[in-house]
Homo-oligomer: A and B are copies of this chain.
């Protein structure tokens, strides 16, 4: 089948791709870009270039595919994803074919090639999807355990439901922004443990959360459920996700209905949606689940993915310093289990919906996915190369998250999500 072809490790493109590029021909992630003076459209990253799928469709490269009119000339990937996996996988195969070393269709068509292959530095990326709904899970056992140790009982860090349920909650969709968009430090109510009453002011404990998010492709009607067996049919791809958190605001507000203003001021995502198909060679099993989950959460075969993750902090005018190296493979609950759980009560989903993993912490202290854990609640500050220390994130710091899979032949990268924090209004 097609997917074997696109993932062929020996495959190379006539477009030059550096060995350490995130975007070899085996990746082909989708994004939305806006060429100057033209409408936003769907592009695919290849090396340091963006392939304009709208131009390819207009010039007949998808002839016979029965794609809707101008399906790639849209401000979001939603309509394309909603065609379903069978169709979008055929498009992926076709793009792979057009780009392979020995294919001359576009390579030798100078006029179309000049219009369709655009240097990445010349385009402005936009939000890849319109997420009507955004859900955030809490599926890293190391993260949940660390938080439990810090805020509850070190000997009973995990709550009783945690190993039975992929715990999740609904987040704010409107404040999800693209990599490169700076955010303001939020203000809000906080209360010191020793204080009688709360006070108002800028958050003092601004934190990142290293997450990934998956995107669903099609709509389901209310009342339907998605099984773990079929869940991946509904998962179009993945992005990097920084779930910004104001720990002091969150702490005072979150009982009993969960996080609200401590989270909803901003979340940041990477611009390229890596199709699940590109991650196929990096599929791995997850942690053993004990106790066994209920039947509707059981799944066959490996459903985790070996994705290296890194977080760096860059002080204003300073140098980037990696503070965390983690991996998506540590997730206790898989994406398939999350989606099966989310819909088991009949909750409907839509194209473009985002599902955050929850903070992805690994087993070692240098793999913790938040400053809360890395600095262990501020008790172990991190020293940056310029000698300054960080317990949490300071004004003008830039936080950069990166992710990639790697084997002997190529690297499937997610690019980065990069966000600078600006001071709160006073």
Instruction: Name A residues whose Cβ lies closer than 8 Å to a Cβ of B.
Output: 132-133, 136, 138, 159-161, 164-165, 167-175, 177, 183-184, 186-189, 191, 197-200, 222-223, 246, 249, 252-261, 264-266, 291, 294-296, 341-342, 344-350, 353, 425
Contacts and interface: CB of A to CB of B under 8 A. Distances in A.
A172 B170 contact: yes
Given A252-B165, A258-B258, A174 B265 contact: no
Given A132-B132, A296-B200, A175 B347 contact: yes
Contacts of A246: 345
B291 A161 contact: no
B260 A172 contact: no
Given A164-B198, A171-B170, A349-B174, A222 B266 contact: yes
A347 to B, nearest CB: 5
12 contacts: A138-B257, A165-B189, A165-B198, A167-B256, A169-B170, A169-B257, A183-B222, A184-B346, A186-B346, A187-B345, A254-B256, A257-B258
Given A253-B165, A259-B257, A265 B347 contact: yes
A328 to B, nearest CB: 20
Given A164-B197, A425-B223, A172 B257 contact: no
**Interface residues of A: mostly helix, strand, loop or mixed?**
loop
Contacts of A257: 136, 138, 167-169, 254, 258-259
Contacts of A342: 261
Contacts of A133: 172-174
A222 B265 CA distance: 8
A169 B169 contact: yes
A387 to B, nearest CB: 32
A344 B174 contact: no
A250 to B, nearest CB: 11
A261 B189 contact: no
A344 B203 CA distance: 12
Contacts of A132: 132, 173-174
Contacts of A294: 189, 198-200
Contacts of A174: 132-133, 347-350, 353
A260 B170 contact: yes
A148 to B, nearest CB: 9
B345 A161 contact: no
Contacts of A261: 341-342, 344-345, 347
A254 B187 CA distance: 26
Contacts of A347: 172, 174-175, 261, 264-265
Given A161-B253, A256-B258, A259-B258, A345 B188 contact: yes
A344 B260 CA distance: 12
Given A200-B294, A223-B425, A344 B170 contact: no
